[in-house]
Structure 1
Amino acid sequence: MHHLPTLFETLAQLKKAGYTEDFNLNKNYLAGQRSAIQLSPEEFVVDQHFRFEGNSDPDDEAIVYAISALHFNLKGTLVNGYGPSSDAGAAELIRALQEKIT
């Protein structure tokens, strides 16, 4: 895990490194916004992750996943709340993401 100053700067640096797809969580897959590709957990790897914690507000907590899908020649990012603001509806996929970074 790396620490960069802000969420915005981290996303900008990842985009420069080729992580151009914006992923969204679905119940059991990642959905690409630009490519319309749907990735199941076995189709991607988490290359890096970045955690951001607010100084005093737990709602400011977020995690950024830098994700690669070699089969599709695709790299992108997923931003999700962390802690109390995480997406509970995609708990299975979040577990898969966490397993890939340990």
Structure 2
Amino acid sequence: MQKNESLTDALAGLREKGYEADFATDTFCLYCSDLDMRLDPEEFHVDKTYRFEGNTGDGEEARLYAISSPLGVKGILVDTDGTGARHLNVEMAKKLYGDQDLLD
């Protein structure tokens, strides 16, 4: 997990590398409304994860995921409140957050 650049810089860098689709989390999958595409946990790979901590010291954080699929689609997922795992099923939460973050 990388922590050394701003969210804006990381987004711009990923867009330059072809991560064009915008994904959102659903309980059981990732969803891209522009492509009307759903990807189950076994249908995508997390290429890179960035974590950004807020300046207020109140535990605020954001995560940015670079996502790719065997279908050739590359995109991003932004979790701005750091609580994304709460509404996901176990398989999706493990895929995005790993076992350790589920214990927090």
Please, what TM-score do these two structures have when normalized by structure 1? 0.83
Q: For the aligned residues, what is the CA RMSD? A: 1.6
1:6: which partner in 2?
A: 6
Quote how far apart the aligned CAs of 1:77 are: 0.6
Quote how far apart the aligned CAs of 1:36 are: 1.0
Quote how far apart the aligned CAs of 1:18 are: 0.4
1:89: which partner in 2?
A: 87
Native 8 Å contact 1:21 1:33 kept in 2: no
Quote how far apart the aligned CAs of 1:91 are: 4.8
Q: How does 1:8-27 map to 2 (within 5 A)?
A: 8-27=8-27
| CA–CA separation in structure 2 for the residues paired with 1:2 and 1:40 | 25
Please, what TM-score do these two structures have when normalized by structure 2? 0.81
Number of residue pairs aligned between Structure 1 and Structure 2? 95
Quote how far apart the aligned CAs of 1:21 are: 0.5
- Runs of 4+ that moved beyond 6 A: none
Letter in 1 for 2:95: A
Q: How does 1:1-102 map to 2 (within 5 A)?
A: 1-55=1-55, 56-59=57-60, 61-70=61-70, 72-81=71-80, 85-87=82-84, 88-92=86-90, 93-99=92-98
- Sequence identity percentage: 36
